[in-house]
Amino acid sequence: MSDHDAPGGRTRTTDLERRYLRLLRAYPADYRRLRGAEIVGTYLDLAGPDRRWPSPADAADLVRGGLRQRLRAAGAADFVPGVQLAAVLAFLTAAALAAVWSVLELRPPAPEIGLPTIGPFKTIGMVAWAAWLVAAVGYTLAPGRYARPLLWVAVLLTALVVPVSALAGLARPPLFVLAPQLALGVVALGMPERPPLAARAAAITGSALAATLAARWFEGEYYFDSYRGFEVTSASVAASAVLLIVTLVLALGLAHRGDFRGGWALLFLATPLGLLSLKELAEEFFGRNPDWAALTATTLAVSLAGPALLLLAVAVRTRLAPLRAAKCCPNCGSPR
């Protein structure tokens, strides 16, 4: 039957409804049976008369809601708040590190070394660091819906540093600097649209403080490769230590009140934490001054270990869900 065969465009509505029902599969089966018709009906009522496909925002909203319900059914209702907490901490760390590396980029290399530069900067990495600083300012001053694209741009530019530098023959920061920045960026994509005021203020103030400390830390030091000095790896390890301590303090404080989102945040940050100490871990396994292959192997191992721990935690929480449900309110999920 064509559009003309059904008055009022019923075929278009039926096609749109069918596509919404496909997206509804993100929800658990029991939840779909109870509320599926109501959810789809709401989206159809809000859709324009000529719409044939769900909008990207509707599709993302349905998938996101389905994942929340599946996690709630698995006894992990604090999973999404944990993701958001990890995202805020990752964003603050990435912005502060971008400020540190920006200071390093602006330091001129020793003339006798003869290293190539890109204008006033040491490497092409300055493009990514600048994008992170712009995102920090954006989240401080602009509403979340305008700041979020800036975050996506920062993550994308960080991911493109290696391929662009290889194609253009330009100098770039080493893998042990880029890998943790990209991992922090991926976690930061889970930021809520409107982070807490304290977090938004910390984005710019933390970056300014990090830049001030970096200017003192790198003062008077020259290296054959500016990113490979002891001070650089020490800065990454220091950032990892601060992030770990802050996350642990938050996790313990929240757990004391029966809120385990800090634990989920710690699991989500496991990979960035490992990558911030990437060079040290590679030296433990492959010896002093690890080459590109050793750093790549260590990166893959750390990148797989973090998600594996997270999946294990979800599996354990799912197995314990029936026991926890008996002790919780059936409506809100909070402890009785």
pLDDT for residue 3 is more than 50? no
Q: Which residue has the higher pLDDT, 7 or 157?
A: 157
Euclidean distance between CA atoms 24 and 10, whole angstroms = 21
Q: Tens digit of pLDDT for each residue in 288-309?
A: 777 778 878 888 888 888 888 8
Q: Please, which pLDDT band fits residue 109 given cuts at 50, 70 and 90?
A: low
Q: What is the mean pLDDT of residues 230-243?
A: 84
User: Is pLDDT at 167 greater than 50 in this prediction?
Assistant: yes
**H runs (alpha helix) in 106-124:** none
Asked whether residue 68 carries a pLDDT value surpassing 80, the answer given is: no
Taking the C-alpha atoms of residue 313 and residue 307, their distance in angstroms, rounded to an integer, is: 10
Nearest residue to 99 (alpha-carbon basis) of 109, 91, 110 = 91
3-state SS assignment for residue 76 = coil
CA angle 141/144/146 to nearest 5° reads: 80
Overall average pLDDT of the 179-194 stretch: 90
* Phi/psi-derived region of residue 8, left when phi > 0, alpha when psi is between -120 and 50, beta in every other case: left
- Of 90, 103, 102, 126, give the one whose Cα is nearest residue 203: 90
User: Cβ contacts of residue 22 below 8 Å, gap of 6+?
Assistant: none
